[in-house]
A and B are shown apart, each in its own frame.
Chain A
C-alpha cells in the first residue's frame, strides 16, 4: 500500500493512445507503489501497458502518448507536473532505468566508461579524475572483471551480460531511490539472466533501492519479487505479495496466466517405440576458414552431433545462444549443408545431396520457424502460402485448397480465412498457419525451431498443445529446438543439451531433469528462474 514513505506512488494513471489505435488508453487507472528496499514486479503479456507505465514514470513517453490523468509521485513529488529541467535532474539522481537490449541501449561509439561517467558529468561537478575513480568503483560493485581494462572498452567488445552490468552501473552510480528495469534479462541467456537477477537483488538489498521490475516471465517473478502487479490491456488486474499471486491468484486472468506456465518438472511419459524417422551421425558444421594469413576465424557451430527421433516422439534440443541448436535444425532441414556427417530421413542420407536430388526428399522434413511475423510472405494470402508446397509436388490446385481447408480446421482456425493476408492475424494464429503449411506437405519429421519463443505465455500454451496433438495424430517425429527449460520439460520425450556446438548430455527428459550428469546441464537447471517456486494451487493440466 502506498504510504508516505513510498519511493514511488502511482495513483490512477491514465495514458491515452492516439486515435485509431486498438483501444483508447495505453494504461488506464493504474495505481501501484514501491517502498524502499522492495522489488515490485509488473507482469503482463504484450500489449498490457507495462512498458508504458515505466516510461511514464521517467517522463520518456513517446510523443504520441499523453498522460491524461492521475499522478506519479517520486519521493512525494509529482513527476507528471515537473518541468523539463527538473525531470532531467531527477533522472539519474533519484530515478534510473535499464532497458531490455543492452547492445542497442549503449552508444556504440562511446567507451563504456564514458557512458557511465556521463551520468556523473551531467549531475555532479566532479573533475575527470574523480569521475574515473567512481566509475571504477561502481564497475567493481556490479562485479565486472578487470574494471581498469574494461573502462576504456567499447560496447561491442563485451558480452550481453557484461553490457547489462554496464547499464546497471550507469543507473546506480548516483544511488537513485528508484530503479526501473524494463525486461532487462529477456534478451539474455538463462545462465546470464540468473547472474543479473542475483546482482540486482544483492545491490538492491545493500543500497535499499526500490525496484520496479517489468517482465513477462513468471519464473523471474518467482525468483526476485516481493510484490507483484498483474496487468492486462492497460489495467491492473491484481496486486499482491509473491506468495499470494503465485500460489493463490484470485483474478481469472492471473489464474489463467499461472496455469499456462509450464512446470519445471517433466511429467512421466511412456517411451516411444516407433521406427526411427530422423537420425544424424557425426553431424558437423564449420564456418569460416583460416584465410591467407592464418588470421581468419573458424567457428565450429556444430560438432559431431548424433541425434535420433522416432515417429510419434518429440526430441528437444536445449541450449543457450551459440550452442549450435539452430545450426543443427537448419542442417536437418537442409537450409544449409553440413560440413560433415550424415542426416538420415528414413533410410536416405540427405546430408550432401545436390538440390535436384534433394527436392523429392524435402517433403519429408518440414520446419516451423521462430518469428511468426516473418515466416509468411506478407504479399501472399495465407491460403497461397499453404498450398505452395503441395502444388510444387504436383498436387492439382483444387485438391491442394481442399487440403488447406481441412488443415485450417485442424489447427483451430476458420476455413474461410484462406483469402486473408498474414498481417490480419495475430502471432499465435500465424504460428498455427505455419504449422498448417508444414503439415500440408505430409511430412514425417517436423522441426519446431523456437516455434513458441516469440509468443505470449497464454498463446504459447495453446500452440504447444496443438503441436502435441498434431504429433500424436500424424505420428510425426518432432525435433523441438528451444532455450526454455520449462517448455522442454512439458513436451519433450527426450532431450539433448548442447553447449558450444557439442551435445553434452542426452536422455529421457524426466531422467535428465531429475539427475543431470554434466556440469553444464546442472548449471543450466540451477539458473532456471523460479525453479523452486510452485505455481498455482491447482496442478496445471497442460
Chain B
C-alpha cells in the first residue's frame, strides 16, 4: 500500500508540470505579440516594449519558463495588469467566498445525491427511479446560470424569501453568510447532484448483478442489508471516483454561479481577468484551480485504500 500511495503522489507531479507548461505557453502561444495585446490598440512601440520587458518576454523561452516556475512555486504570481495589485493578494482576498460556496455545494450534493441514487437503484424501474433519472438528465442539461436565474426569480423576486445576490463575509455574521449562500449552493449543486445520483444508481445496479449478491441472499440476508453492506460497499469506489472527477464541473460552475449571484470569489476574478486579458491573473487562477482538482482526485485515490482492500494489500 505504501508504494501505491507513493506512486499516486509522484504521479501528480508530471500532471501539474503539464498544466504549468500549458499555462505558461498560453501567453506565448498567441499568434500576435502578447505584449501588444496587453498594451491594447492605442499603445505605441515604447509602451509595448516596456510591457515586453516587464513580462520578461525578451529572454529565451526556457529561461522564461524557469524563472516563472521558480516564482510561482514561491507564491509570487506577479502583478495583475488590471487590478494593479499583487495577484497573490487578489487571490487570497477572494478565497473565502469560493471556498464557502464549494463547501456547501459539496455537502448538499453528497447528502442528497447518494441516498437518492441508492433508493432509485433499489426501486429500479419504479416511479421514483424514473423521477430521479429524469431529474438527473435535466440537471445536466439546464445550464447553471439558467437555474440560477430561475431560482432567483422564484425565491428572491417573487417570494422575497432570500436576498437576490451578493455575499456576506463570515466575519460579519454567520446568519447573513448562510442566508446568502443558500441559493447559490442549491444552484451549483444541481448539476453535481444529477451526476452523483446517476452514478450511484448505475454503480449500485451493476453491483447488484454480481455473484456475491446472490451469495448474500442465499444466506438469508434481508434486501436492505444486501443493498447497503454488499452493494453500496462495492459501489463506493466508482461513486467516489466520480465525485472526484465531478469537481471539474463544480469548478466550472463556480465561475458562472459567482457571476450570476455577484459573489466576489475566484470565479468572478477569472471572468474579469479573461475579459481584461490580465494574463498573470488568468495563469494563476488556472494553475490554482487545476492544482485543487488534482489534489482532490489524489485524495480520492488515497480514499480507495480505505474502500477497497485489494488496493491495500
- Which residues in A have some Cβ–Cβ distance to B below 8 Å? 58, 60, 87-93, 96-97, 99, 101, 104-110, 118-119, 122-123, 154, 156-157, 167, 170, 293, 295
Cβ-neighbour of A106 out of B212, B220, B222 (below 8 A): B212
Instruction: Give the residue among B3, B220, B313 with the most A Cβ atoms within 10 A.
Output: B220
In whole angstroms, how far apart are the Cα atoms of A105 and B210 in the complex?
8
What are 30 sample pairs from A and B whose C-beta atoms fall under 8 A apart?
A58-B218, A60-B217, A60-B218, A87-B220, A88-B220, A88-B221, A89-B220, A90-B220, A91-B217, A91-B218, A91-B220, A96-B219, A99-B211, A99-B214, A99-B215, A105-B211, A105-B214, A108-B212, A108-B308, A110-B230, A118-B221, A119-B219, A122-B222, A123-B220, A154-B313, A156-B310, A167-B215, A170-B215, A293-B3, A295-B3
Tell me whether B219 and A122 are in contact (CB under 8 A): yes
In whole angstroms, how far apart are the Cα atoms of A106 and B211 in the complex?
8
- Interface majority SS on A: helix, strand, loop or mixed? helix
Q: What chain B residues lie within 8 Å of A295 (beta carbons)?
A: 3
Interface size on B, residues (CB 8 A): 22
7 extra interchain contacts, Cβ-Cβ under 8 A, other than A58-B218, A60-B217, A104-B212?
A91-B220, A104-B211, A105-B211, A107-B216, A109-B234, A110-B233, A157-B313
In whole angstroms, how far apart are the Cα atoms of A167 and B215 in the complex?
9
The 9 tightest CB contacts between A and B, nearest first, are A91-B220, A104-B211, A92-B220, A88-B220, A154-B309, A107-B212, A105-B211, A92-B219, A97-B218
Q: Which residue of chain A has its CB nearest to the CB of B215? A: A105
Tell me whether B220 and A93 are in contact (CB under 8 A): yes
Cβ-neighbour of B216 out of A101, A108, A118, A293 (below 8 A): A118
How far in angstroms is the closest Cβ of chain B from A157? 6
Tell me whether B310 and A170 are in contact (CB under 8 A): no
8 A Cβ contacts from B216-243 to A: 216-222, 229-230, 233-234
Q: What chain B residues lie within 8 Å of A106 (beta carbons)?
A: 212, 215
In whole angstroms, how far apart are the Cα atoms of A118 and B221 in the complex?
8
In whole angstroms, how far apart are the Cα atoms of A295 and B313 in the complex?
14
B307 lies within 8 A of chain A by Cβ: yes
Q: Which residue of chain A has its CB nearest to the CB of B213? A: A107
In whole angstroms, how far apart are the Cα atoms of A323 and B169 in the complex?
68
In whole angstroms, how far apart are the Cα atoms of A96 and B220 in the complex?
9
How far in angstroms is the closest Cβ of chain A from B100? 35
- Interface majority SS on B: helix, strand, loop or mixed? helix
In whole angstroms, how far apart are the Cα atoms of A108 and B233 in the complex?
10
Tell me whether B220 and A109 are in contact (CB under 8 A): no
In whole angstroms, how far apart are the Cα atoms of A106 and B308 in the complex?
14
Instruction: Give the residue among A92, A93, A118 with the most B Cβ atoms within 10 A.
Output: A118
In whole angstroms, how far apart are the Cα atoms of A118 and B218 in the complex?
11
Q: What chain B residues lie within 8 Å of A107 (beta carbons)?
A: 212, 215-216, 230, 233-234
In whole angstroms, how far apart are the Cα atoms of A99 and B308 in the complex?
23
Q: What chain A residues lie within 8 Å of B310 (beta carbons)?
A: 108, 154, 156
In whole angstroms, how far apart are the Cα atoms of A107 and B217 in the complex?
12
Tell me whether A109 and B233 are in contact (CB under 8 A): yes
Instruction: Give the residue among A97, A105, A119 with the most B Cβ atoms within 10 A.
Output: A105
How far in angstroms is the closest Cβ of chain B from A74? 13
How far in angstroms is the closest Cβ of chain B from A83? 13
In whole angstroms, how far apart are the Cα atoms of A122 and B218 in the complex?
12
In whole angstroms, how far apart are the Cα atoms of A91 and B216 in the complex?
10
Q: What chain B residues lie within 8 Å of A90 (beta carbons)?
A: 220
Tell me whether B215 and A122 are in contact (CB under 8 A): no
Q: Which residue of chain A has its CB nearest to the CB of B312? A: A154
How far in angstroms is the closest Cβ of chain B from A55? 9
Q: Which residue of chain A has its CB nearest to the CB of B6? A: A293
Q: What chain B residues lie within 8 Å of A99 (beta carbons)?
A: 211, 214-215
Q: Which residue of chain B has its CB nearest to the CB of A94? A: B220
Q: Which residue of chain B has its CB nearest to the CB of A97? A: B218
In whole angstroms, how far apart are the Cα atoms of A156 and B214 in the complex?
18
In whole angstroms, how far apart are the Cα atoms of A487 and B219 in the complex?
38
In whole angstroms, how far apart are the Cα atoms of A118 and B313 in the complex?
23
How far in angstroms is the closest Cβ of chain B from A408? 38
Q: Given known contacts A99-B211, A295-B3, is B218 in contact with A108 (CB within 8 Å)?
A: no
Q: Which residue of chain A has its CB nearest to the CB of B218? A: A97
Tell me whether B219 and A91 are in contact (CB under 8 A): yes
In whole angstroms, how far apart are the Cα atoms of A159 and B234 in the complex?
21
In whole angstroms, how far apart are the Cα atoms of A109 and B308 in the complex?
6
How far in angstroms is the closest Cβ of chain A from B127? 18
How far in angstroms is the closest Cβ of chain B from A101? 6
In whole angstroms, how far apart are the Cα atoms of A88 and B233 in the complex?
22
Q: Which residue of chain B has its CB nearest to the CB of A101? A: B211
Q: What chain B residues lie within 8 Å of A88 (beta carbons)?
A: 220-222
How far in angstroms is the closest Cβ of chain A from B95? 37
In whole angstroms, how far apart are the Cα atoms of A122 and B307 in the complex?
24
Q: What chain B residues lie within 8 Å of A92 (beta carbons)?
A: 218-220
Q: What chain A residues lie within 8 Å of B215 (beta carbons)?
A: 99, 105-107, 167, 170
Q: Which residue of chain B has its CB nearest to the CB of A293? A: B3
How far in angstroms is the closest Cβ of chain A from B154? 42
Q: What chain A residues lie within 8 Å of B220 (beta carbons)?
A: 87-93, 119, 122-123
B 22-66 binary contact with A (CB < 8 Å = 1; else 0) = 000000000000000000000000000000000000000000000
Instruction: Give the residue among B214, B219, B222 with the most A Cβ atoms within 10 A.
Output: B219
Tell me whether A156 and B309 are in contact (CB under 8 A): yes
